[in-house]
Structure 1
Amino acid sequence: MTSLVRIAPGALVIGKPLPWDVYDVDGNVLLRQGYIIHSDAQVEQLYERGQFKPIAPRPRKLEQHTDERPCNPFAEYAELLATLETTLSAVASRAPSAKSRLLGSARMLERICKQAPDATLALVHLYSVNPNIYEQTLFYGILSHFIARQFNLEHKRTTSLVVSALTANLALIPVADQLNASNHVLTAEQRAVIRKHPERAVEALRAAGISNTRILQCIMQHHEKADGSGYPAGLTGSDILPEAEILALAERYVAMITKRAYRDRMDVAAARKLLHTLSNGQFRPSIPRALLEILGDYPPGVLVRLANDEIGVVKKRPEGHRGAVVSSIISPRGQRYTGTFERNTYEPEYAIIRFEDTEVMPSMDFSLIWGFRNL
């Protein structure tokens, strides 16, 4: 059965019919497809409680993934996840469309990264509290794309890296939720599945007709380490593709900021400290540095508390003499603002004093912070 996916803020529009049935966490139908949402209160309730079963998207021409039309990453989040699930299913079933679907999915993701970089990077932080395997995979693709651009990799290599990020964990999909939910030491069988997953992903891609050498090598090597302690081949140093290290770091960062049954999630400050240590033998030093530069001290999408005791969402990283731009969403008294108020954290009154950790992100349409109006 297709897994349920939470509704992404920005995916619903007042006055328009629901594109799918909406379920609660127990799989009970809340609202049927076609129901028209009438109020902000209904939207808020659906963001808070609603989930849906992704519908296989209709095939689209690749040109539609390469256009420059304006995009709203929050409104497209549900489609990105549905497309990714359908694409990986096509690869696993050796469907004739697998190769074109993969390329289309990669280009779709690259388009939103280029069109709306801050908002797309925000997806990684806003939805990292308890993501499912498809969300995690999407985050790997987003971060890999941004790191590749930081190194000015040519377009073909960047696209190949994004394809690798979207497919490297194909063999873990059936067991990912079980692994994340386990607070026990892994069994020998679970460890074997994990260690074999790069090879199994490569086998699945080859069987589906995908033979790009760089993609297959990247996937095969993305758990190798420069000091030789990785798997499956124990490669060292320059024998490991730079793209494989980029993907490995993207996965590592997502793991840091994601909750697991056996540990809490890190805040970004702690994750940044750990990134600083990863150039000591495990990665080429330039790769962790590149991710640190992309994130900045306060990446888009993190929650922060300001000196005036408001809680806000980081909208933009610092530029020049400006501090990070924050949209305040919760008042000093702990009440949700009806709108958002933009604060420049360079001003002492609005200086960031700490990250605000939360187990549940506030229920709101985050797309409004970035000025999207359901484009």
Structure 2
Amino acid sequence: MDQRQLSMSDIAIGEPLPWDVYGEGSKLLLRRGHVIQNSHQIEVLLQRGLFIDATAADRATQARMEAAREARKETPSALRFINLATKRLERLLYNLANESDVQPKILEVVKALRFASEVNPDVALATILLNQDAASYAVRHCIDTALLASLIARAMNKSAEEIQIIMAASLTMNIGMLRQHDQLEIKQEPLSEKESALIKGHALGSVHTLRDAGVTHADWLTYVQLHHENDDGSGYPYGKGVAEIPQNAKIVAFADRYCASIANRSYRKTLLPNVALRDVLLAGGKPSDPMLAAYFIKEIGTYPPGAMVRLQNGEIGVVTRRAKVAATPVVHSFIGPRGVPLSFPIQRDTSKDLFAIRELLSSQHASLRFSMQQLWGDEAAL
């Protein structure tokens, strides 16, 4: 038997030994599977100069490495699925006139996004703030809206079919002004009358485009048509009132406005998430739809995943996970109290006074450089 002496790295407290342990003269002392209970036992073993079968140890090490590799293979990345869905949607929307079977193809994108949200809903939410370079604004905004709308619809216990159609409407709501949307993003001056008219007519234009492409689902088309209507009749294209707007169309509308408010826009001020939530849901100081507003506030929270925050101790970090109490999410700090970058992100419990959130920061003010994988691991790998 090819033996080698035990080292500290060979033993893990509380885990079964992966090999037999021998004394001098190859005498068997501990069988494979024996559990070392504390550090004192490890010290005693090492002092006795015990040995293990080197071949068996190598096999055990190889098995652990293989298991780790397999675990990594089995961990799907929500971010990767979202990016693949975004690229697929981009090709579909910009080439719609030459596409066949548009309706099932859009629903395939919906399926991929739903899977990503199930893998890690916090990662899916964080992409709204942290993944803005994944595609053109026109396409990425539709993806963001679909992800947020699906989260709200799922929290409201909507049926699987309802969630599917809400997401499909979100993905296609702006198809009537897709290319113009991209052009508007690079404008530095206010919108012209012609551009404002285009925006006010795009909901109906999107419905006509979808019908021409073969989309026949009545609710899908209705949600697209009504996603800019307001309960008080101030919306467009029809100025409908509260009783005429389906709840699912409102989910699309609120998600659309919130995502547009927090995105970097050239002709519109970017709002912090808490301000955007207030402006979208509490226009005029009271919610237009109290029940829907309550779901948005509960699911998004004042500090959504991906938001940059400053803590009471001066650290700056990123919200990584929502908590039962909306005001106390999990944060990973990147910059220390004196403004010096930390060696690695440190998880902070914001329910503790020292690490309570002091304020939200814009991405420009936070000046953080990181990858989503640093914060969420393989579920946010590219």
Q: Could you say whether these structures have the same fold, taking a TM-score greater than 0.5 normalized by the shorter chain as the test?
A: yes
Instruction: Report which of the two structures shows the higher radius of gyration computed on alpha carbons.
Output: 2
Separation in 1, partners of 2:375, 2:128: 16
Separation in 2, partners of 1:110, 1:85: 17
Counterpart code for 2:199: I
Identify which of 180, 204, 219 aligns with 1:199: 204
1:285 and 2:290 are equivalent in the alignment:
yes
Identify which of 104, 113, 116 aligns with 2:120: 116
What's the TM-score, normalizing by structure 2? 0.74
Task: Give the drift of 1:128.
Answer: 5.2
1:95 and 2:99 are equivalent in the alignment:
yes
Separation in 1, partners of 2:181, 2:325: 42
Identify which of 334, 337, 349 aligns with 2:339: 334
1:182 and 2:187 are equivalent in the alignment:
yes
Counterpart code for 2:260: A
How many residues are matched? 306
Identify which of 249, 252, 257 aligns with 2:254: 249
Counterpart code for 1:126: L
SS of aligned partner of 1:372: helix
SS of aligned partner of 2:162: helix
Distance 1:320 1:260, change over 3 A: closer
SS of aligned partner of 1:334: coil
Q: Which residue of 1 aligns with 2:312?
A: 307
Task: Compare 300-309 and 121-130 and name the one that shifted more.
Answer: 121-130
Counterpart code for 1:356: L
Matches of residues 207-226 of structure 1 in structure 2 within 5 Å?
Answer: 207-226=212-231
Task: Give the drift of 1:323.
Answer: 3.1
Q: Which residue of 2 aligns with 1:64?
A: none
1:132-170: CA deviation from partner (whole Å, max 9, x where unpaired): 222111111011101111211111011000000000101
Tell which has more relative contact order, 1 or 2 (C-alpha 8 A, sep 6+). Answer: 1
Distance 1:361 1:156, change over 3 A: farther
Separation in 2, partners of 1:334, 1:361: 11
1:326–1:345: 8 Å Cα contact kept in structure 2? yes
1:164-208: CA deviation from partner (whole Å, max 9, x where unpaired): 000010122211132233343322221221122111111111111
Task: Give the drift of 1:253.
Answer: 0.6
Separation in 1, partners of 2:308, 2:140: 19
Identify which of 120, 125, 133 aligns with 2:129: 125
Structure 1 or 2: larger helix share? 2
Question: How much is the aligned-residue C-alpha RMSD, in angstroms?
Answer: 2.5
Identify which of 328, 352, 356 aligns with 1:347: 352
1:278–1:288: 8 Å Cα contact kept in structure 2? no
Counterpart code for 1:114: E
Counterpart code for 2:368: P
**What percentage of residue pairs aligned between the two structures are identical?**
27
Separation in 2, partners of 1:325, 1:217: 38
Counterpart code for 2:236: Y
What's the TM-score, normalizing by structure 1? 0.75
Task: Give the drift of 1:232.
Answer: 1.4
Q: Which residue of 2 aligns with 1:46?
A: none
